[in-house]
Structure 1
């Protein structure tokens, strides 16, 4: 049975992924023993992983044997969305001031939208969530602002959790989110700053109804 830091890292990544993608829901009790059995590792590294997730406010430890998944509250969601809006709007402002995204980024955005369209048609929620994340990361990358990329990365896990909440509650939101992305991309590449700002606000407002 695997032990040590490698096992703790496996348990951390596995449990965090399940929380972010919605397989472990808010309020659910998670057993160290069950996670250890799933991964073929001992309980000690799972406990270490749970401590890390507790520090990240994803789990509340209830005993040495387990923890409860911390629900994402409306207040937390609002805070995440406010920061997303600030980062994406500021990054886009820099892009517009520079004359728009370069061709490489524009081509990658177009490729991403093609992938999103196929995922919507297939009803692939998990795949769409990843493509959604990549789409917004491209908007940030276009600004060539390393601080914006750093701040976006810090929000990434919570954003993924919000996306999964929205899209799993109602898979019809896949098509709506894709339509939002098409509008955002059109405004972004054409230099329509006011249109982009309005589309971004409308897009992020969708997530308020996910909780």
Structure 2
């Protein structure tokens, strides 16, 4: 397995909830989880530490990022900084087909979520939730912006490992998404930005409460 593949493999294990926030593991345990020799693991460890997903403590081992108040506020604060500006572009009218497609998907999942609270529907709600945020950044067509967003998205996913979306919150979040998307469809950037900012604040406050 290559260094890049090892990094991706461990990251997937981390974001699956297999490891707990704040947990300590050894370098050997990390290598076993990543499926690589210890030497190869070191480079993946450095990259993950750079992304604030873990911390190396000399003599103590490797600590999975602890979900502190500071960690949550910084991750959601960066998301808000990036996306509230990016949604102005998304609401320009140039991406009407993309916005309409998201509205259709979101509406379908929202209606399903009201009558079917199965794990399968909840997982689909999470997918659609992420898709809107991803598209807002993607349509900026800026590689540096996308890189920063993706690094921060991993932090947000780690937060959500211990703060899973409930059926009730899924319905609320998808409703908030529809408000944002309809403002985008109407090419009202300021209202879309305001609604997105409120949506991110709600998600942050929920994470801070651990609900």
Is the TM value for this pair above 0.5?
A: yes
SS in 1 for 2:83: helix
Query: Where in structure 1 are there 5+ consecutive unaligned residues?
Result: 1-5
Cα distance change on mapping 1:44 and 1:127 into 2, 3 Å? farther
- Does structure 2 conserve the Cα–Cα contact (< 8 Å) formed by 1:105 and 1:142? no
- Does structure 1 conserve the Cα–Cα contact (< 8 Å) formed by 2:52 and 2:155? no
SS in 1 for 2:135: helix
- Does structure 2 conserve the Cα–Cα contact (< 8 Å) formed by 1:119 and 1:128? no
- Alignment partner, residue 26 of structure 1: 21
Q: Deviations over 1:33-57 (max 9, x none)?
A: 4454456543333344223322322
SS in 2 for 1:60: strand
Alignment of 1:167 onto 2:168: no
- Alignment partner, residue 183 of structure 2: 187
Cα distance change on mapping 1:161 and 1:129 into 2, 3 Å? farther
Q: Deviations over 1:138-157 (max 9, x none)?
A: 22344555654454334222
Q: TM-score, normalised by structure 1?
A: 0.74
Which of the pair has the greater relative contact order for Cα pairs under 8 Å at 6+ separation? Answer: 2
- After alignment, is 181-190 or 12-21 more displaced? 12-21
- Does structure 1 conserve the Cα–Cα contact (< 8 Å) formed by 2:10 and 2:33? no
Alignment of 1:50 onto 2:45: yes
- Alignment partner, residue 140 of structure 1: 137
Query: Where in structure 2 are there 5+ consecutive unaligned residues?
Result: none
Q: Distance in 2 between matches of 1:176 and 1:190?
A: 22
State the Cα distance separating 1:193 from its structure 2 match.
3.6
Q: 2:69 aligns with which of 43, 55, 74?
A: 74
Q: Distance in 2 between matches of 1:72 and 1:116?
A: 29
Cα distance change on mapping 1:139 and 1:210 into 2, 3 Å? same
Q: Distance in 2 between matches of 1:62 and 1:149?
A: 30
Question: RMSD between aligned alpha carbons?
Answer: 3.2
- Alignment partner, residue 61 of structure 1: 56
- After alignment, is 63-72 or 12-21 more displaced? 63-72
- In the alignment of these two chains, the number of paired residues is 203
Q: TM-score, normalised by structure 2?
A: 0.74
State the Cα distance separating 1:17 from its structure 2 match.
2.1
